[in-house]
Amino acid sequence: MDSLDMITSDLFRYKGMNFPVNEKLRPKDIDALKDFEIRPTDVFIITFPKSGTVWMQQILSQIMEASHPGWAEDVTNRAKIPYLEGRTVDDPFRDRKEPRVLYTHLFLELLPHGVKEKQIKVVYVLRNPKDVLVSLYHFAHSWVLMDSPTSFEVFFKQFMDGKQFVGSWFAHVKQYVAAQEQLKIHIVRFQVENP
């Protein structure tokens, strides 16, 4: 992967977005996502990492199960609502019951074509960047695909410069807020109240 635009030893930049270096997600795999078959009943959860993805997966799982009994026999959020960028060659999403719910961290221009063309439902979860930063910092210490931060100060600068996982929080949010008229987006704000 040395021909890629390396951001850090664990991240590469491709089409304006930062991805973890691993053999399961290469530029050709990212490009292939543009042609991922979208069904009119699909629902997408789109978030910047650490913005409430699992929280929204749990909420939508409960809604789907209440409205479509037997919708998901799997027990984990990850199995019920798979990660688009984590799809494998055998494409397990194709066999999922409708309506399918998937989640992604992709920037707008990297989404499958059908998201816009078929005007599928998108739930965009927005969280305060300070909370995202702190959560991502702690997550980076345990995620095997990311180097552990050397200090919070260095991590903060990388976050502000868009040189952490996914890229710029500011660009991600700006794209999706601006796309409300192009896409069928419902924006949900994830906020933790301090006691």
Domain extents in the chain = 5-190
Q: What's the pLDDT band for 2 if we cut at 50, 70, 90?
A: very low
Q: Could you say which of 3.40.50.300, 3.30.70.1380, 3.40.50.1820, 3.40.50.1220 is the CATH number of the domain covering 5-190?
A: 3.40.50.300
- pLDDT of 115 reads 95
- pLDDT of 7 reads 80
What distance in Å separates the CA atoms of residue 145 and residue 4, rounded to the nearest whole number? 17
pLDDT digits (tens, 9 = 90+) for 86-137: 865 445 565 677 888 999 999 999 999 999 999 999 999 999 999 999 999 9
Of the candidates 105, 141, 172, 186, the residue annotated as catalytic is 105
Residue with tokens 């095997």: 144
- pLDDT of 195 reads 56
- pLDDT of 121 reads 96
Q: For the chain, first and last CA: distance in Å?
A: 46
Tell me which range, 3-17, 63-77, 81-95, 110-124, is most confidently predicted by mean pLDDT: 110-124
- pLDDT of 22 reads 77
* Strand 43-47 relative to strand 121-127, pairing: parallel
- pLDDT of 49 reads 95
- pLDDT of 112 reads 95
Residues 50 and 136 sit within 8 Å (Cβ to Cβ) = yes
The single-letter DSSP state of residue 166 is B
9-33: average pLDDT:
87
- Cα 70 to the center of its chain, rounded Å: 26
> Is 186 annotated in the active site?
no
Q: Look at residues 2, 1, 5 and name the one whose alpha carbon lies nearest to residue 163.
A: 5
Ranking 73-77, 78-82, 163-167, 183-187 by mean pLDDT, the lowest is: 73-77
